[in-house]
Structure formats: structure tokens, C-alpha cells
Amino acid sequence: MENDFYNFWENYLKPKDNITLNNNQKKLVKYIETYHNVIVLKFRQVGCSLCLKAYVAYLLTYFRGMNIGVITTSSWIASDYLRDIKSMIDTLPNDLHPGYYKCTDSEIGFKNNSTIVVGTTNKISEMRHCKPITFLIMEEIGYIPNIENVWSALAPSLHTFQRFQKDKGLPYGCVITSTEARGDLFKDMWDDASKENATFKQIEMGNKEGDI
């Protein structure tokens, strides 16, 4: 397909920095598109965050009505995260660029009726009351304060709106990441993901090239 993620990367993102997707990154995308809810145990500097930013840019470009939330450990990390995604989208040709109607340090609204909000738990909790989150990323959850209570509040509505997206044949998902399996919530969810018919699928992104 012309509008799949790999063509998006090869045609629009790779020429910018000449970075080739490694096997770990390709496996992550495969898991997101196959299983939708993915929990990632990663080494540092394996390209997990870069891959997720690129995938979010792809979703915001090609799909209408996406409401994407990204929870990070601090406001300044959130601003950098959103800035990187915006930079990727701004490399697109004019006929593909989705266009903005709102652009702040923590939120971008697009003319195709998609939205992304990036911030700490408080910011995403605010988004939950205004928009149905259809794709959620929680980066380094072991370092996010009060994440257990936030997840308990987010999970029911997230799963509900994921079903709506699935019924409409649109993308949906939740990606949770951690290094060193830090934090009780990550450890519990990681263990649960090893069980049959679990909601989340485990993936390890090591410092070596993973198998596809």
C-alpha cells in the first residue's frame, strides 16, 4: 500500500536524516499493527521512541479523527516529544500535510480532525474528559508519578473507544514502555502479558537486532 507506515518512512522520513529502520523497530510496528496493545521492555538507544514518534506522525497524517495521547515523565520531555513529531510532519509535501488549526507546546489539532496531546498525567487526564483517546503511549512508566491511579482511570474508556475504532476498521492501540522493568505497574502488566489471551503483547527491544 502506498499509505502504509513503511512507505511513509522510506519516502518522507528517511530522506530527512537517512536513518534506516532496524529489526527491533520493524518488529515493534508489526506488533502494534497486529496486536494493538503492546508492552515494551527496552534497552536505551535502540530507537523505540523514534519509531513511536514516526508511527504517530503516520497516524496523524493518514487517518481522520485520531485522538492520540502520550504520557511522559515531565513537561519538558513532553514538549520535545511533540516538537519531534511536528518536525516529521512538517517535512511532508503540501499535498500530504494534514494542516494545523491549533498548535501549542502540548497539543496539536489537525484539519483532518485528528489531535495529539503530549504531557504528564495531569494533561492526559484533562484530555480524557474532552476527547476519546484512541491511541495511547506511556513512555517510561516506571518514572511517572501516580501512574497506577492514572491507568486505573484511563483504561476503561480507552478499551471502550478502542472497540469503536476496531468496528470502524481504524487504527487503535496502547503502547507502554520501560527500561529495566522499572515500577510495580510495569512488572505486573509485563507478567500478565505472558498469559494466554492477555490484553497486551510483550516485546523486548534489546541492544542487538531482533528477529522479525
Range of 51's domain?
A: 5-205
Question: In this model, does residue 66 exceed pLDDT 90?
Answer: yes
Helix, strand, coil shares of the chain as percentages rounded to 5?
A: 50, 20, 35
CATH code at position 132:
3.40.50.300
Question: In this model, does residue 9 exceed pLDDT 90?
Answer: yes
Cβ atoms of residues 129 and 69 within 8 Å: no
Kindly state whether residue 212 falls inside one of the protein's structural domains: no
Q: How confident is the model at residue 1 (pLDDT cuts 50, 70, 90)?
A: very low
Mean pLDDT of 38-49: 88
Kindly state whether residue 96 falls inside one of the protein's structural domains: yes
Q: How confident is the model at residue 58 (pLDDT cuts 50, 70, 90)?
A: very high
R_g (Cα) of the chain, nearest Å: 16
Kindly state whether residue 210 falls inside one of the protein's structural domains: no
| % residues pLDDT > 90 (the chain) | 57
Question: In this model, does residue 95 exceed pLDDT 90?
Answer: yes
Question: In this model, does residue 46 exceed pLDDT 90?
Answer: no
Q: How many domains does the chain have?
A: 1
**What pLDDT, on the 0 to 100 scale, is given for residue 198?**
92
Q: Report residue 153 as a C-alpha cell.
A: 482511570
Question: In this model, does residue 127 exceed pLDDT 50?
Answer: yes
> How far apart are the C-alpha atoms of 32 and 109, rounded to whole Å?
23
b/e per residue, 109-136, with b = 16+ CB within 10 A?
bbebebbbbbbbbebbbebbeebebbbb
Mean pLDDT of 6-19: 84
Give bridge partners of residue 204 from the DSSP assignment.
41
Amino acid of residue 17: D
Kindly state whether residue 130 falls inside one of the protein's structural domains: yes
Picking from 9-23, 33-47, 92-106, which range would have the lowest pLDDT averaged per residue?
9-23
Kindly state whether residue 26 falls inside one of the protein's structural domains: yes
**What pLDDT, on the 0 to 100 scale, is given for residue 20?**
87
Using DSSP's 3-state secondary structure scheme, residue 135 falls into: strand
Q: Residue 154 to residues 38, 69, 84, 120, 136: CA-CA distances in angstroms? A: 16, 11, 25, 13, 10
**What pLDDT, on the 0 to 100 scale, is given for residue 201?**
96
Compute the Cα dihedral for 211, 5, 45, 139 and give only its sign. Answer: negative
In the chain, DSSP finds a helix count (H) and a strand count (E) of 8, 8
> How far apart are the C-alpha atoms of 34 and 1, rounded to whole Å?
16
- Tens of pLDDT along 182-206? 678 899 999 999 998 899 999 998 7
* CB under 8 A, 24+ apart: contacts of 145-148: 145/121, 146/121, 147/71, 147/121, 147/183, 147/185, 148/184, 148/185
Question: In this model, does residue 181 exceed pLDDT 70?
Answer: no
Kindly state whether residue 78 falls inside one of the protein's structural domains: yes
Kindly state whether residue 211 falls inside one of the protein's structural domains: no
Question: In this model, does residue 211 exceed pLDDT 80?
Answer: no
**pTM tops 0.95, yes or no:** no
- Tens of pLDDT along 135-176? 999 999 888 888 888 888 888 888 888 899 999 889 999 999
